[in-house]
Amino acid sequence: MHELVQVQQRVKGQEGQSLLARSVREGVAVYVTELVTGRDTQTAPMGYGRLHEAALWEKFQSVIGGNDASAWLSNGTSAVDRPAELGYFIGSQICKAYARRVGKRDETIRSFLEAEDLVAIYRESGYGPR
């Protein structure tokens, strides 16, 4: 399901995209998949992320504008001391914050799939754990 959502997204994942853009793209797929299936699909990163959200966000912010995603995405064999793919968690939290602001599920999903500027989703989300 996750990959099917990504096929529908206007912006495709590419090397050279910022960590933030790539994480939001993955977060869109996680968010929509969870809406459709009603369950977490990325259980390890989601469970860990919920427990350590503020600390993860602080670390993520220090590299948010860069292109190196190696500690956050596609790091299944290199993750140490925490689950892999935590960029999925950060991206999905950004998407959830955006969805709460928009308030209309269909409009939110359409915005996610048609977005050309994934960083704008972050800016408009107001995300930041407290």
Please give the DSSP secondary-structure letter assigned to residue 40: -
d(CA 41, CA 39): 6
Res 106 pLDDT > 70: yes
Please give the DSSP secondary-structure letter assigned to residue 15: T
Does a structural domain hold residue 33? yes
Does a structural domain hold residue 121? yes
Domain of 113 in residue numbering reads as 2-125
Structure tokens of 26? Answer: 């993955």
Structure tokens of 112? Answer: 């996610």
d(CA 90, CA 104): 21
pLDDT of residue 42: 78
Does a structural domain hold residue 130? no
CA distance to 33, 75, 107, 130, per residue, from 26 (Å): 11, 14, 19, 23
Higher pLDDT residue, 12 or 71?
A: 71
Higher pLDDT residue, 115 or 11?
A: 115
Does a structural domain hold residue 105? yes
pLDDT of residue 6: 66
Does a structural domain hold residue 26? yes
Neighbours of 25 (CB within 10 A): 26
Query: Structural domain tally of the chain?
Result: 1
Does a structural domain hold residue 34? yes
d(CA 18, CA 34): 24
Does a structural domain hold residue 46? yes
What are the pLDDT digits (tens) for 46-105?
999 999 999 999 999 999 999 999 999 989 888 889 999 999 999 999 999 999 999 998
